[in-house]
Structure 1
């Protein structure tokens, strides 16, 4: 398996899971377009498109940081144009950028509802639409979205219906586009973590270090994404993957290296909120 010379456009790649996927690809010498908004360090969320680019280059890849607001059509078009101008095409799109708010119906401000819809569902649709003309020319084109498996059980909607609707919008884009473009050979898949991940967002905004200590490092998602993106696009499409499941399919059976707290057992880890026990 190798992504050598392939060009990946990754939204939200300045930190967290997006950057982890970028760094894994960079180890093969891939070209990575960092399509994100952060140009100045956030007080609680470290990392910018420029610091991520430095890490990608240090890991062996070629980086192109592009200031991108995936809510804005012209901004996405510019990012795609710059990617093609610099690297000659696009082989992979990773829809990683996401907005989260777990408030219930009565507590959620409508501007936050709109933000989640614009970034998650609409952003995924928009980025996929703009990359497709170039993906058609790639030898093994993939679109991978960090989105949960579709499950209409009320338990996934009860506590945060707005967020679930927004994330399921990403999932439905993958489901629908997989069929729409099956004959064109472009793979559309979703990937989701089995457990909570240790990211700056969780540490600073969504529970704190004590919560993230019960999870895994984002490298597990990056390794799973790497495996998916190396599979033949015509044979691997329309699927909802869980990171651990993917790696087991690749022959991995020991996940200790991914655990934040090595003293915890696997069954003590905190499952992600869209994963059944």
Structure 2
């Protein structure tokens, strides 16, 4: 069944970080729900264009859009482009983010600044544009991490950047009172994406896979299902952080 803003208008979704594992799965999932999808990329334009081709080959509508999510001018133009192409925006899913791991005592502060720029400022810039642009009935979904609860060593700076996203969520939900727009955050657990697997040996990955009661790593499609729920039927869930982690925490 096609998800619509009215009886005749398909919903329009923007997915940032759509060239990553969770972003790609989310773009495909929302396209299967009947949404037209703007596939955002930061540097991997060819990957984004391949995803657009995959969506359109399956009968969907998609366009590739690029830009630095922490650059307000770039994001203003990106949102303008999506509105010009599809006529509006109903769903913004902000999966874009970076993860640099180190014990706090040893952290290179340049890494902290990089994560702050993308994970906090980038989330804020995208959320600001979404707050200005989303149509009635819309949804904004940002991303945190279940490590804000599990507190794994070496994740301190990353968790600090994501905890800020969780704190932003209920504030923006309340600021959008009266506009019928939901604001939520998804906090995945260990998920089999390049971002998660990079730099981890097989033993570490196996231990993390066993940590959840379901005894496996999450798959990008598992997270995309949570996003599709918040982007579509879950109109009474607002200002929340949803932990999609198989029962890890």
**TM-score normalised to structure 1 length:** 0.76
* Contact 1:150 1:168 (8 Å CA) reproduced: no
Is 1:163 the counterpart of 2:165? The answer is no
Unaligned runs of 5+ in 2: 5-9, 210-215
Quick one: higher RCO (CA 8 Å, sep 6+), 1 or 2?
2
Residue 174 of structure 2: aligned partner: 179
Structure 1 counterpart SS, 2:104: coil
Change (3 A) 1:102 1:69: same
What SS does structure 2 have at the residue aligned with 1:166?
A: helix
**Residue deviations 1:109-130 (CA, integer Å, cap 9, x gap):** 2221111111111111101111
Within the candidate set 227, 235, 247, 1:225 is matched to 227
SS of structure 1 residue aligned to 2:70: coil
Q: Note the alpha carbon deviations across 1:62-89, whole angstroms, 9 max, x for none.
A: 1111111112111111110000000011
Report deviation, 1:3.
2.9
1:34 counterpart SS class = strand
Cα deviation digits, residues 151-210 of structure 1 (max 9, x gap): 6x7x628643211110111111212101111332211101122x421112234x142566
2:209 matches 1:207: no
Contact 2:97 2:118 in 1 (8 A): yes
Q: Does 1:125 align with 2:124?
A: yes
What is the aligned-residue RMSD (CA, Å)?
Answer: 2.5
Deviation at 1:58, TM superposition (A): 2.6
Q: Mapping of 1:14-29 within 5 angstroms?
A: 14-29=19-34
Q: What is the aligned residue count? A: 235
Q: Is the 8 A contact 1:26 1:59 kept in 2?
A: no
Q: Which residue of 2 aligns with 1:268?
A: none
Task: Report what 1:51 is aligned to.
Answer: 50
Shift of 1:24: 0.6
Q: Which residue of 1 aligns with 2:239?
A: 238
Structure 1 window deviating more from structure 2 (13-22 vs 223-232): it is: 223-232
SS in 2 for 1:60: coil
Cα distance between partner residues in 2 of 1:242 and 1:159: 20
Q: Which residue of 2 aligns with 1:147?
A: 144
Structure 1 residues 19 and 3, CA gap change in structure 2 (3 angstroms): farther
Give me the TM-score of the superposition, normalised by structure 2. 0.84
- Structure 1 residues 128 and 25 mapped into 2: Cα distance closer, same or farther (>3 Å)? same
Change (3 A) 1:142 1:38: same
* Separation in 2, partners of 1:196, 1:83: 32
Asked whether the equivalents of residues 218 and 245 of structure 2 are also in contact (C-alpha less than 8 Å), the reply is: no
Deviations 1:197-243 (A, max 9, x none): 1112234x14256627741311111112111211354x221111123
Which structure 1 residue ranges, 5 or more long, are not aligned?
A: 42-47, 246-270
